[in-house]
Amino acid sequence: MTTLYFMRHAESEANLADILASQLDFPLTETGKKDAQQIAKEVQQNHPIDHIICSSLIRAQQTAAPFAELFSLTPSIDSRVIEQDLGKYAGKTYAELEDEPKYCHDRNLRWNWVPEGKGESYAMIASRLQPFFDDMFKAEQEHILIITHAVTLRLIKAILLNILPDYPKDIAHNGEIWEVKLTEKGNVHHIKSHFYGESKLFANKA
C-alpha cells in the first residue's frame, strides 16, 4: 500500500507580505528555510520517505531541499502540483484585492471562476490533478512526499475525500503535512495531519 505525505511549502516571502503568489517565484523567507530543515529532521525521525515530488516553484523546491539531503533522494519536479494560476491577480496583496469587483472573494464560488488573464478555475486544477493521482495509484514507491501549495492542496483534499465539485474552504498551514494511505480510486480516504516545526503552533486548531 502506498502512503502519500502531502506538504504545503514553508513560509515564503509572499506569505510574509500577504501576497497572492500564484505561480510567481517567491522564495522562502529565512524563517521558512530554517523551518523546512526542522520539519525534515522531525519527519526523518517519524516517517520513511522513498521518493520526493515537488512543484516547479522555488518555494516548493527550497522546502524539498533538506528532505532530499537527509533522505539522500533526488526530488522529481511535477508541474501538475503547482499552485493555482491567478492570472492578473497574481502578485497582488490581499488588501489590493479587497475592492476588486471581478475577483471572486467567496471561496464557495470558485469551482468555475476563471481569473482574468488566463487564470485557472478550481475545476481546471482538479483536472490537472486527476492524471497525477492516476500515477500515484500505480506508484512503485511505498512512501512518497509531495510538496505543493495551499489552493492545490484544497483540491487534493477534495479528490481524496471524493467530494468534487465541492471542496474544503480551509487551507493547510505552511509546513503542515497530510498522511494518506491510498486504497482504491474513488474511495473516501482518511487524512491524518502532522504538525512539525513552526506548524505545531496550529496543531490544536486543526
User: How do the domains of the chain map onto residue ranges?
Assistant: 3-205
SS3 62: helix
CATH number, domain 3-205, options 3.40.1390.10, 3.40.50.1240, 1.10.40.30, 3.40.30.10: 3.40.50.1240
SS (HEC) of 104-159: CCCHHHCCCCCCCCCCCCHHHHHHHHHHHHHHHHCCCCCEEEEEECHHHHHHHHHH
Q: Given CA atoms 157, 161, 166, 171 in this order, what sign does their dihedral have?
A: negative
Global pTM? 0.95
Cα separation of 78 and 95, whole Å? 31
pLDDT digits (tens, 9 = 90+) for 30-45: 999 999 999 999 999 9
pLDDT digits (tens, 9 = 90+) for 101-122: 999 999 999 999 999 999 999 9
The torsion region of residue 91 among left (phi > 0), alpha (psi -120 to 50) and beta comes to left
Would the pLDDT of 179 be above 80? yes
- One-letter amino acid identity for 197? G
Residue 184: CB atoms within 10 A of its CB come to 7
